[in-house]
């Protein structure tokens, strides 16, 4: 869905019209991909608009910036408040949230240090990433010919624009071949993740997901799925997984801010399970939507309410950083 082209964008402390949210073509980020960003969501709940794990997302943003030696001019708490203010100014009840920290305009060259570190926050209305039908009926995917980056090449714990060139190759290949998504392997041939989603596989009532060492992004939704699955009494294992486990899986699903929790019904034209959303996927998906829609008690304190007068709960940060080596 195309952008409406209206509303306000937060840029370096100022709210500007969408049409005026511009950077110079000679900005460092345009030529060298020198940006880190986040994707979070605000949901409309019976108690008001609430951001899901906003502080966990912003913590990962600042972690990503630190890895790339970028020092934002705005502090963590001020950026979080700027996100909430931008939602209020745009009068969104629900929206997708895209904060970005990037190297701006000064000079060009591989050395990024002379360029300023700028920040912006965009919001837009973004529905089900792979379609509403996919949440129930699942999607057909392929194993991509493009691998995730090898260790000590690109830092996969950072959510950086440069890494998403690889994601675009995976996504385009999948679409051209008639699939909704692609799954990447790491450079050792083990399962990694989708183009922009973490991967989960169910086999014999156990939920498996690749570890951080499989060149995955430490997903906030991934961390949430692990917590919710354990709340439901399921066994969860993070370990290196062979490609062929996909083909003999009882269930499989993607998890991420954009896709939320989307079942996978086939991989490389091999049907997964019975070809529809499986019982564990449905249970975890229901638990997830109950939380984000405010239908149950927020026991993990994941929701941050937007508007004055609504309950404001600090979201638990969780284990999504490199220092904690979780998430």
Active site residues: 159
Residue with tokens 């399921």: 234
The alpha carbon dihedral of 247, 151, 221, 133 has a sign of negative
Q: Mind giving me the DSSP string for 91-105?
A: T-SSEEEEEEEEE-S
* CB burial string 204-215: b at 16+ within 10 A, e below: eeebbbbbbebb
Residue pair 117/103 in contact by the 8 Å Cβ criterion? yes
- The Cα–Cα gap between 252 and 17 comes to 42
Contacts of residue 160, Cβ cutoff 8 Å, sequence gap at least 6: 33, 35, 36, 37, 64, 68, 154
Length of the chain equals 327
């Amino acid at each position: 869905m195309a952008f409406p082209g209206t509303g306000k964008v937060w840029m370096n402390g100022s709210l500007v019209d969408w049409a005026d949210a511009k950077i110079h073509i000679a900005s460092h980020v345009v030529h060298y991909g020198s940006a880190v960003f986040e994707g979070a969501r605000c949901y409309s709940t019976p108690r008001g608009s609430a951001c899901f794990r906003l502080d966990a997302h912003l913590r990962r943003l600042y972690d990503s910036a630190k890895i790339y030696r970028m020092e934002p001019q705005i502090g963590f708490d001020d950026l979080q408040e700027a996100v909430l203010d931008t939602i209020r100014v745009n009068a969104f009840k629900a929206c997708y949230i895209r904060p970005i920290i990037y190297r701006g305009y000064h000079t060009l060259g591989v050395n990024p240090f002379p360029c300023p570190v700028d920040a912006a926050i965009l919001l837009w209305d973004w529905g089900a990433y792979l379609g509403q039908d996919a949440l129930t009926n699942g999607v057909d995917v392929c194993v991509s010919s493009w691998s995730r980056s090898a260790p000590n090449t690109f830092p996969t714990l950072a959510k950086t624009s440069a890494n998403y060139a690889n994601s675009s190759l995976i996504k385009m290949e999948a679409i051209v071949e008639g699939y909704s998504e692609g799954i990447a392997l790491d450079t050792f041939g083990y399962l990694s993740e989708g183009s922009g989603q973490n991967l989960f596989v169910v086999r014999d009532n156990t939920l498996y997901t690749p570890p951080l060492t499989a060149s995955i992004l430490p997903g906030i939704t991934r961390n949430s799925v692990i917590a919710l699955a354990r709340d439901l009494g399921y066994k969860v294992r993070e370990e290196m997984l062979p490609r062929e486990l996909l083909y003999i899986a009882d269930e499989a699903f993607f998890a991420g801010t954009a896709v939320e929790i989307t079942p996978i019904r086939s991989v490389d034209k091999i049907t997964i399970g019975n070809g529809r959303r499986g019982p564990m996927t449905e249970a975890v998906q229901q638990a997830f939507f109950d939380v984000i829609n405010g239908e149950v008690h927020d026991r993990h304190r994941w929701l941050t309410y937007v508007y004055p007068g609504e309950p404001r709960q600090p979201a638990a940060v969780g284990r999504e950083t490199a220092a904690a080596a979780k998430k």
